[in-house]
Amino acid sequence: MSQLTYGIAVFPSKKIQDIANSYRMRYDPQYSKIPPHITLKESFTADQQTIDKLTEDLSKIAKETEPFDIEIKKVSSFSPITHTVYLKVEPNDTLSKLNEQMNAEGFPGEQAFSFVPHITISQDLSEDEHSDVYGTLKISSFDLKDTIDRFQLLYQLDDGSWTVYETYKLGE
Binding site for a copy of itself (CB under 8 A): 4, 11, 14, 17-18, 21, 25, 32-33, 35, 150, 152, 155, 157-159, 161-167, 169
Give the per-residue SS3 of the chain: CCEEEEEEEECCCHHHHHHHHHHHHHHCCCHHHCCCCEEEEEEEEEEHHHHHHHHHHHHHHHHCCCCEEEEEEEEEECCCCCCCEEEEECCCHHHHHHHHHHCCCCCCCCCCCCCCCEEEEECCCCHHHHHHHHHHHCCCEEEEEEEECEEEEEEECCCCCEEEEEEEECCC
Active site residue 37: yes
One of 37, 41, 83, 88 is an active-site residue; which one? 37
Supply the minimum distance, in Å, between the C-beta of residue 87 and a copy of itself.
Answer: 15
Of 7 and 35, nearer to a copy of itself (C-beta) is: 35
Active site residue 118: yes
One of 118, 134, 153, 162 is an active-site residue; which one? 118
Of 58 and 95, nearer to a copy of itself (C-beta) is: 58
Of 28 and 77, nearer to a copy of itself (C-beta) is: 28
Of 67 and 91, nearer to a copy of itself (C-beta) is: 67
Q: Which residues are catalytic?
A: 37, 118
